[in-house]
Amino acid sequence: MLTSGATSVLAWQGAQEHHPSRRERRKGANPDDQKRQINVAGTTRSYLLYIPHSIPKNHPLPLLLVFHGGGGHSYNMPRFTGFDELAESRGFLVAYPESTNGHWNDTRNLSPADDVGFVRALISELERSYPVDPGRVYATGISNGGFFSQRLACDLTDRITAVASVAATMPETLLPVCHPTRPVSVIFMQGTDDPLVHIEGGAVARTHGRNISLSDAVRFWLDHDQTAKKPAASDLPHHDSNGTSVHRDIYSGGKQDTEVVVYTIRGGG
């Protein structure tokens, strides 16, 4: 089961666009984010790391991996998401990995890189350097980063506890090869009016492969985790007047206390 803290970490607040604005790009990264590199099978890969300032020595820390969208970069993500501030107040590590060509290998042929191998090596590196709690390693991302988080839920469940996909369901090419080795909790956040990743499935941004529908992606994880088929449903309170509303479905009672949580943003794109 996802605790309220884990849900706050994984579920981004409100509907987000696929990429940060020009203003956000100009701001750059938080100076407290440390730029790191790691060699993976002869290839130098990079990431940003945020370490909370006030944590007890040797206190086990959750780790959150945050994946940028297609055409994005790791340095955009700290201020785009606000996760540094949340990590400081809640006490967890945040890593923002960088792709090799602006895209993650989520099986849609956007990148040939071994990104799953990169993430595995990165988790191991951080576990050697910091008191990472191996039972609380989470992945999240938006658009291409959200699709890649789904791949990690399929291919890296020995290291990943839960994933959250924002503006992403699951690539059609991933579904037939997705064979998780254990239950994994999953969050989806999807807008009904998303013009690039259609909630009913279809072509992604016209030329970037195809995605399955949100309902099919949810059904896959309900079956895998063996959760309840009837959700606890609720409409979330409005916090602004942008014309959208958020409906939440929580499917609980899965194997190893997993759950699937779906945020549907009505009118969100």
- Segment 152-176 mean pLDDT: 98
Mean pLDDT of the chain: 90
pLDDT at 16 (0 to 100): 37
pTM metric for this prediction:
0.90
pLDDT at 29 (0 to 100): 55
- Segment 62-71 mean pLDDT: 98
Instruction: List all residues 6 or more positions away from 189 whose beta carbon is below 8 Å from its beta carbon.
Output: 11, 12, 15, 16, 164, 165, 166, 167, 263, 265
Residue 112: its H or E element: none
Give yes or no for residue 268 having a pLDDT over 50.
yes
Give yes or no for residue 194 having a pLDDT over 90.
yes
pLDDT tens-digit readout, 228-251: 999 999 999 988 788 899 999 999
Give yes or no for residue 54 having a pLDDT over 60.
yes
Among residues 40, 144, 130, the alpha carbon closest in space to that of 91 is found at 130
pLDDT tens-digit readout, 6-41: 554 555 433 333 444 333 343 455 777 899 999 999
pLDDT at 5 (0 to 100): 45
Higher confidence at residue 11 or residue 267?
Answer: 267
- Segment 51-61 mean pLDDT: 86
pLDDT interval class at 165 (50, 70, 90): very high
Sheet of 61-67: strand order equals: 34-40, 43-50, 93-97, 61-67, 132-142, 162-166, 185-191, 260-266, 245-251, 232-235
Q: For residue 171, what is the DSSP state?
A: B
Q: How far apart are CA 222 and CA 216, in angstroms?
A: 10
Tell me how many degrees the CA angle 189-35-24 measures, rounded to the nearest 5.
50
The answer to whether residues 11 and 263 touch, using CB atoms and an 8 Å cutoff, is yes
Give yes or no for residue 215 having a pLDDT over 60.
yes
- Segment 139-163 mean pLDDT: 98
List, in order of start, the domains of the chain with CATH numbers: 4-266 (3.40.50.1820)
- Segment 219-227 mean pLDDT: 99
Give yes or no for residue 225 having a pLDDT over 60.
yes
pLDDT tens-digit readout, 248-266: 999 999 999 999 999 999 9
Of 8-12, 38-42, 71-75, 145-149, the range with the lowest mean pLDDT is 8-12
Q: How far apart are CA 1 and CA 24, in angstroms?
A: 34
